[in-house]
Chain A
Amino acid sequence: MTGIPLVALVGNPNAGKSALFNALTGARQKIGNYPGVTVERHTGRFALADGRPIQLIDLPGAYSLDPSSPDEEVTRDVVTGVQDGERLPNALIIVVDAANLDNHLRFTLQLIALGLPVVVALNMVDLARRDGLEIDPEILARELGVPVIPTVAVRRRGIEELKAAIDGKVTGANIRSIEAGRGEGDEYDAMLNTKRARDVAQRAVVSETPTRRLNQSIDAVALHPLLGPLLLAALLFVMFQAVFAWSEAPVGWIEAGQGWLTASADGLLAEGYFKSFVIDGVINGVGSVIVFLPQILILFFFILLLEATGYMTRAAFLMDRLMARFGLSGASFIPLLSSFACAIPGIMATRTIADPKDRLTTILIAPLMTCSARLPVYAIIIAAFIPNSSIGPGIGLQGLVLFCLYISGIVGAMVAALVLRRTVAKGAAASFIMEMPKYQLPLLRDLALGLWQRAWIFLKRAGTIIFVTTIALWALLSFPQAPEDSPLSQTEYSIAGRVADGLHVVVAPIGFNEEIALALIPAMAAREVAVSALATTYSIDESDEEQAEQSLTQQLQGQWSLPTALAFLAWFVFAPQCLSTIAVTRRETNSWRWPIFMLTYLFVLAYVAAGITYWTAVGLGL
Chain B
Amino acid sequence: MHVNLDDLPLRKSALVAAINWSALSPADGKRLRELGFSEGVSVQPLHRAPFGRDPIACKVGRMMIAVRRAHACAIEVEVPAT
Contacts and interface: CB of A to CB of B under 8 A. Distances in A.
Interface of A: 63-64, 66, 68, 99-100, 102-103, 106, 131, 133, 190-191, 194, 215-216, 219, 223-226, 228-229, 313, 316-318, 320-322, 324, 330, 354-355, 428, 431-438
Instruction: Indicate the member of A66, A228, A313, A317 with the most B CB atoms within 10 Å.
Output: A317
20 contacts: A63-B35, A64-B34, A100-B62, A103-B36, A103-B61, A133-B62, A216-B46, A223-B49, A224-B47, A228-B50, A317-B47, A321-B49, A321-B51, A321-B55, A324-B68, A433-B35, A435-B65, A435-B66, A436-B57, A438-B64
A103 B35 contact: yes
A594 to B, nearest CB: 22
A321 B48 CA distance: 11
B66 A131 contact: no
Interface string B47-73: 111111011010001111111100100
B31 interface: yes
Contacts of A63: 31, 34-35
Contacts, number: 105
B38 A194 contact: yes
B49 A190 contact: no
Given A68-B30, A228-B50, A321-B52, A435 B64 contact: yes
Closest CB pairs A-B (n = 8)? A63-B34, A223-B47, A321-B51, A436-B64, A225-B50, A433-B31, A434-B66, A103-B36
Contact of B68 (A102, A133, A229, A432): A432
B80 to A, nearest CB: 16
Given A190-B33, A219-B57, A320 B49 contact: yes
Contacts of B33: 190, 194
B66 A317 contact: yes
Contacts of B28: 431, 433
A431 B27 contact: yes
Contacts of B31: 63, 68, 354, 431, 433
Nearest to B54: A321
Interface in B8-41: 25, 27-28, 30-36, 38
A318 B50 contact: yes
Interface residues of B, number: 30
Contacts of B64: 215, 219, 435-438
Given A219-B64, A330-B66, A431-B68, 18 more contacts: A100-B62, A100-B63, A102-B36, A106-B34, A219-B47, A225-B49, A225-B50, A226-B50, A229-B50, A321-B49, A321-B52, A354-B31, A432-B67, A433-B35, A433-B68, A435-B35, A435-B66, A436-B66
B32 A433 contact: yes
A321 B67 CA distance: 11
A431 B69 CA distance: 11
Contact of A99 (B34, B62, B65, B68): B62
A322 B52 CA distance: 9
Nearest to A103: B36
Interface of B: 25, 27-28, 30-36, 38, 46-52, 54-55, 57, 61-68, 71
B57 A428 contact: no
Contact of B55 (A133, A194, A432): A432
A431 B52 contact: no
Contacts of A354: 31
Contacts of B68: 320, 324, 431-433
Contacts of A317: 47, 49, 55, 57, 66
A564 to B, nearest CB: 41
A61 to B, nearest CB: 11
Contacts of B38: 191, 194
Nearest to A191: B38
Nearest to A313: B66
A572 to B, nearest CB: 31
A239 B28 CA distance: 33
Nearest to B24: A431
A553 B55 CA distance: 50
A225 B30 contact: no
A70 to B, nearest CB: 14
Nearest to B70: A431
A321 B65 CA distance: 16
B54 A320 contact: yes
Nearest to B35: A435
Contacts of A432: 55, 66-68
A476 B56 CA distance: 56
A320 B25 CA distance: 19
A452 to B, nearest CB: 31
Nearest to A429: B70
Nearest to A229: B50
A92 B52 CA distance: 45
A420 to B, nearest CB: 20
Given A102-B61, A103-B61, A433 B49 contact: no
Nearest to B26: A68
Nearest to B38: A194
Contacts of B49: 223, 225, 228, 317-318, 320-321
A433 B65 contact: yes
A106 B33 CA distance: 11
Contacts of A191: 38
A241 B60 CA distance: 38
Contact of B65 (A190, A216, A330, A436): A436
A64 B25 CA distance: 18
B50 A68 contact: no
Contact of A225 (B48, B63, B65, B67): B48
A245 B55 CA distance: 35
A131 B62 contact: yes
A316 B25 CA distance: 21
Contacts of A229: 50
A437 B57 CA distance: 12
A68 B27 contact: yes
B61 A431 contact: no
A389 to B, nearest CB: 36
A513 to B, nearest CB: 46
A229 to B, nearest CB: 6
